[in-house]
Structure 1
């Protein structure tokens, strides 16, 4: 039997062992040879109604256990770990000083980003608006708003930008290195996940952006961005 748990104020290794105990024991019993690989794709979501919930961060499939360790929910791709990831094509982008930047992009960045945001995120924002979002909206930037779109406060390691008049609930979250590389620690990373989960629950589709996303396979990211506009709930 396992006991219900809640998120603590401070996440510790001891708590993590408890949080992953039902999943770890199940994989050890049923998939001992693939256990480690499967665990690398699975994250603890929450414990609610006496059930432990986990999600495959790559496929988004979920698996849940009751307090006896029995599987009560298991999506067909929840435990998948045999991925053939595509070979990314690096973006062949001219040097910064030689790039053309649409005047609307320049105007928006210079008027909206404060010095700290410009230093940390300015280059990413320019590339994203110039090469990805701008062409989709004919470079109309007037409705782009900085800030977390829900009442709950924004996470300090991110820059949130959303089009307030777009047809669907889209938000672009530019994620700082301290989150991508987990420099700020596991507890802060969990807080970031909480903010991301809140957006999803409220119908927003969060497009996560960090340098590697903008440096590899531009066509793939453009295709994802187009599909993301369809996945978000309409206003």
Structure 2
């Protein structure tokens, strides 16, 4: 029979333990910071062996939903934006994303983010951006890692100042990939530090003035300049990061 159903797969007991606890975390029944019952209590509640419970807990720990606390007890820890960003960027890297894909995303997202930043960044946010730029200015011309760190940290502070957790997670994952791509570029692009610092200065001025249009324009120029850095350094945009 061509339309016959296939036999249902049986799930291992530890996976059922994982899904049962995961569902309670997802629906909010288990709050962030709340401790799970002990292994023995979970064995009694689920009616399974200790090894089954341990395997379910191991899977929850691997996915970042629980953390081992005092007395070896696990507590709930919902992933924050940094966790989500790190997981996403790692997945993208393992998936073989290219320089071109990163640059396309930068060019699409960051000018809009800069416009929003011009209306949302606080005085403290802008002060932090100035501090990042000052540290970049103080770095040596051949301190390429400091240049990469300054460029990425500037983007990170913009993302944090948007007061939007979804955008924060998205932009932070992109920022991590920016760092990896810049490491391939900075050493082979003369005056990279000066050009990045100059763009940061213009962006800070736009943010201070609350000028959305100028902020978006300068961010677009900054991203275009980063792409030119790829060209100057002889990086193949279709190369994997």
Q: Tell me the TM-score normalised to structure 2 length.
A: 0.24
Q: Which structure has greater strand proportion?
A: 1
Q: Which structure has greater helix proportion?
A: 2
Q: Tell me the TM-score normalised to structure 1 length.
A: 0.24
